Amino acid sequence: MNRWLLIFPLLIGYFSVTNAQEKMDSFARNAVPFMKQHCYDCHNAKKAKSGIELQDMLTEQDAMKRHDLLGRCLDAVEYEDMPPDDKVDILPTEQERENFLKELAKIKTKISTGDFEKKAGRPVLSRLNRDEYELTIRDLFGVEFDTKQFFPADGSGSSGFTNSGDALFTSPVMLEKYLLASKAIIDKWYADPKLVGSTFKIKRGSSKREAARDLIRRAGRRAFRRPLTEDEIAQLMSLFVKADSKKGATYKNSMRGPFQAMLMHPAFIYKMEAVHPTLKEWRLSDLELATRLSYFLWSSMPDNELMRLAEEGKLSDKKVLIAQTRRMLKDLKAKAFAEHFGGQWLGLDDLWGTAYPNTKKFTSYTNSLQSSLYNESIEFASHVLSNNRPITDFIHADYTFLNEELAVHYSISGVKGKGMRMVKLKNKHRGGIIGQGAMLVVTSMPNRTSPVKRGAWILDKLLGTPPPPPPPNAGSLPDTDKPHKGLSFRKQLEKHRQQASCAGCHAKIDPLGFGLENFDAIGRWRVTDSGGKALDTKSILPNGKTFHTPYELKRILLDDNALFVRNFAKQMLTYAIGRELEYYDQPLLNELVATLRKQKMSSEALILGIVQSRPFTHRSKEP
């Protein structure tokens, strides 16, 4: 009896361990031990070499959530780049390496085929970002309101876009700024009789209170992007009644309080969507879908036609949704789509922030030219997205948008006036975003070009394969491209990349950048360097392909466009749903890529695919 009492706890422990092992998924059993032995020393919370942490990837679900990392891990281990044989004492055997790769491949296959429970995902409750607030005020009151005077710049979070809910925080300071902004907006609106128009006229036979109630109902419907509840109308009416009861009060001035309160209300500040706690997933209401659609394509509120169709329950009809999407793309307000999606994806906003050409060296770089460079890229992106052009135009096109100032900058004749207009290009090196001055400026240093920044930009923005950050001991390059100790700038860079810690990344980055050296730091064409010597632009990619000119680089990117097409679809889907993509979005991404290829890279086909997709039209209980 006593002996069994001693053995029984051991048996319980044994069966507990056995059951726990049986419950462990295949990844936990076969991949985690490999990572513990060969990866954790360099890729942990303290070291995180190349920005990679692996110690919290313990289950198949963990690995699926970090799906973007799986491909990098698979390649690094398969090509025996990792673990590095000069940094570790124990290298994995071929069998251990093979078993680990099988586990990663199984998860990648599972994700790509959609072999898991589908869900739409749940965007974080998102307030209007600074751009959306400004455009919504424009469409609500007709007021041009500079939000930069009131609100700080929005962060882009992990998604890379400022409309991502996980980056749009609200603080007590922000609430105070909303209060100040609401007062300034109403003051500006009231001060302009043309904007106010007949807003405050009272219909014959109506009392002030009846007129106020009707105005609150109509204005509130537009501000909240839905009809007001009776409680909301009553709350806003109470502000009117309180103001109107004062001696000498007028109908117009008594409405200031309700209008300001609308602009302070969560239903205005946030893009709110209903939550259904008893459901795992549900379809958005038509009004919620209208808001998603309008902020996707216009960065602003729905217009009257979109609201009407939503209130009639027609927007969820596939034919109506497609027709409205096409109508909205043709509207001038769709330029915001190009500016906010295109500008943020391509990093063009850096033109106003981190890009500072030395104007003493580059005397033609003026504020006016800077604006023209930016407008060229935005007009170009707007044309591609609103006119159903193939998305590959972003890599190469035989047209761009110029005014006289920018045409002179590019040495193109025959363009007159300050207005931007489409211009057919004879120079095949110039077409596409790679040949546009805005990109070339933001990827340069103040005094010189930067093959490193330009190559990294192509890998990150166009191909979606960003290089890791440079190691702490990477050293630095000269500020100018003047020869130093008899070495050209290119030779200096080649010497720099001989460092063991730098060579691997620079082999992928530098050739792409050297292929653009014919463009100087402010986007002008050149054939000699600053020392007057002929440029050496020959480039050899890691796969052995060679090229000498921007056009030849573009041909390579077009011929092997798998990374670009997938990245473009990924970026637009991310922007559309306002959150970073998860593993359960990958099957949809595969469908969108297939649609692009089937529809000859049609930008409209991609947009229509997104607005009809599950993540765009539905919400899940869990993120």
Contact 434, 492 (CB under 8 A): no
* pLDDT in the model for residue 7: 53
Q: What is the mean pLDDT of the chain?
A: 90
pLDDT exceeds cutoff 80 at 175: yes
* pLDDT in the model for residue 569: 98
Residue with tokens 């302070």: 264
Residues facing residue 399 across a β-bridge: 424
Residues facing residue 539 across a β-bridge: 547
Task: Indicate the Cα dihedral angle 18, 20, 25, 26, nearest 10°.
Answer: -30
Contact 169, 175 (CB under 8 A): no
How many angstroms separate the CA atoms of 525 and 255, rounded?
Answer: 59
Q: Give one DSSP letter per residue of 514-547, joined into a string.
A: HTTTTB-TTS-B-SB-TTSPBP---EE-TTS-EE
Residue with more model confidence, 63 or 478: 63
* pLDDT in the model for residue 502: 67
- When pLDDT is cut at 50, 70 and 90, the band that residue 86 belongs to is low
> Of 424, 495, 463, 443, which is closest to residue 566 (Cα–Cα)?
463
- When pLDDT is cut at 50, 70 and 90, the band that residue 81 belongs to is low
Residue 478 buriedness (CB in 10 A; 0-12 / 13-18 / 19+):
middle
Residue 296 buriedness (CB in 10 A; 0-12 / 13-18 / 19+):
buried
User: Average pLDDT, stretch 10-17?
Assistant: 47
* pLDDT in the model for residue 474: 64
User: Average pLDDT, stretch 342-361?
Assistant: 94
Q: Domains of the chain: which residue ranges?
A: 27-112, 130-269, 281-332, 339-387+396-559
How many angstroms separate the CA atoms of 610 and 128, rounded?
Answer: 21
Residue with more model confidence, 409 or 49: 409
User: Average pLDDT, stretch 368-390?
Assistant: 98
* pLDDT in the model for residue 18: 42
Q: Which amino acid is at 603?
A: S
Residues facing residue 462 across a β-bridge: none
How many angstroms separate the CA atoms of 397 and 466, rounded?
Answer: 24
Residue with tokens 């216009």: 298
Least confident piece of the model among 111-115, 274-278, 543-547: 111-115
Residues facing residue 76 across a β-bridge: none
- When pLDDT is cut at 50, 70 and 90, the band that residue 79 belongs to is low
pLDDT exceeds cutoff 90 at 472: no
pLDDT exceeds cutoff 60 at 614: yes
Rounded to the nearest 5 percent, the helix, strand and coil shares of the chain are 55, 5, 40
Rounded to 5°, angle at Cα 613 from 607 and 617: 110
CB atoms within 10 A of CB 102: 12
Residue with tokens 């539905």: 618
pLDDT, tens digit (0-9, with 9 covering 90-100), for 215-224: 999 999 999 9
How many angstroms separate the CA atoms of 285 and 458, rounded?
Answer: 40
249-263 burial by CB neighbour count: b if 16+ within 10 A, else e?
eebeebbbbbbbbbb
- When pLDDT is cut at 50, 70 and 90, the band that residue 89 belongs to is low
User: Average pLDDT, stretch 391-396?
Assistant: 98
* pLDDT in the model for residue 92: 82
How many angstroms separate the CA atoms of 606 and 596, rounded?
Answer: 6
Q: What is the pTM of this model?
A: 0.90
pLDDT, tens digit (0-9, with 9 covering 90-100), for 26-75: 888 888 888 888 888 778 777 777 778 887 888 988 888 887 777 777 77
DSSP H or E run through 424: strand 421-424
Residue with more model confidence, 67 or 105: 105
pLDDT exceeds cutoff 80 at 606: yes
Q: How far is CA 237 from CA 208, 222, 261, 582, in A?
A: 11, 17, 11, 44
DSSP H or E run through 618: strand 618-620
Would you give the DSSP letter of residue 46? T
How many angstroms separate the CA atoms of 232 and 291, rounded?
Answer: 20
- When pLDDT is cut at 50, 70 and 90, the band that residue 14 belongs to is very low
pLDDT, tens digit (0-9, with 9 covering 90-100), for 521-547: 999 999 998 878 889 899 999 999 999
pLDDT exceeds cutoff 60 at 370: yes
Q: Which amino acid is at 240?
A: F
CB atoms within 10 A of CB 221: 16
3-state secondary structure 276-317: CCCCCEEECCHHHHHHHHHHHHCCCCCCHHHHHHHHCCCCCC
User: Average pLDDT, stretch 169-178?
Assistant: 89
Question: Percentage of residues in the chain with pLDDT exceeding 70?
Answer: 91
pLDDT exceeds cutoff 60 at 419: yes
Cα 213 from chain centre: 41
CB atoms within 10 A of CB 300: 21
> Of 123, 146, 149, 137, which is closest to residue 300 (Cα–Cα)?
137
- When pLDDT is cut at 50, 70 and 90, the band that residue 87 belongs to is low
How many angstroms separate the CA atoms of 88 and 117, rounded?
Answer: 40
* pLDDT in the model for residue 76: 73
* pLDDT in the model for residue 84: 72
User: Average pLDDT, stretch 338-367?
Assistant: 95
How many angstroms separate the CA atoms of 195 and 525, rounded?
Answer: 47
Residues facing residue 422 across a β-bridge: 401
Cα 426 from chain centre: 32
Question: Percentage of residues in the chain with pLDDT exceeding 90?
Answer: 68
Residue with tokens 């923005």: 461
